[in-house]
Structure formats: structure tokens, C-alpha cells
Amino acid sequence: MLGQRLDWCEQRGATKYLSTKWVNAFGLSVPPGVLFEADIPWWARWWISPHDPAVLLAALLHDYALHVLQHGRVRAAAPFSEALRAGGLGRTKRLVMVLGVIARRYR
């Protein structure tokens, strides 16, 4: 899955992406034109790639729920976790990532 070209988003920076098509997943409908970030701390990128398609989908859903729909951090983490699970990420990685998006403070 890693390294596969995605038809629903395009890269706009090191870890920034833009949705290019409608994405309907896990109860959310995300329109094209949504800028999102798959921000993995540099020290964890050996373990979790920000360019993994499962991570990208999870990041899109999370950022859309959090910033556009104004969901709380815990509620926005639900579709994030489901996308990671569906993408095949194991429990440990999912737990670390979900706790990370819940606990992270934005500047």
C-alpha cells in the first residue's frame, strides 16, 4: 500500500495534502479542496510513514472533523481510528496515533 499513487489527494508540502475528490468514509463526506496534514513527529517516522495511504485517509477525516465540522478532539479521533484500522494498522500503532491526536495541542 505504501508508495501507491492516490487519486483522491495530492501532496502540497512535506506532510501537507489537498483532497482532489469527494471522500465518503466512516460517516463523513469530505469535499474536494480540503487541505490537511499527516503530521507524524520526525522521531516516529521510522515507524509510521506520513505518506501511508491509511494514514492519509485518517488525517483527512480527522482534520475535516476537527477544523471544518468543529468536532471535539475525542470525537474527531473516532473516524481517524476507524480509517487506521481499515487500513491495516495494528493495535499498538493505532493506539499511539489516536492518543497523539487527542492529546496534541495546536499552536
- pLDDT, one tens digit per residue, over 65-78 is 999 999 999 999 99
Q: Average pLDDT, stretch 89-93?
A: 91
The fraction of the chain above a pLDDT of 90, given in percent, is: 64
Condensed to tens digits (0 to 9), the pLDDT of residues 12-46 reads: 988 899 999 999 999 999 999 999 999 888 888 88
C-beta of residue 21 within 8 angstroms of C-beta of residue 8:
yes
On whether the pTM is more than 0.85, the answer is yes
Is residue 3 predicted with pLDDT exceeding 60? Answer: no
Q: What is the helix (H) or strand (E) element at residue 63, kind and residue range?
A: helix 53-63
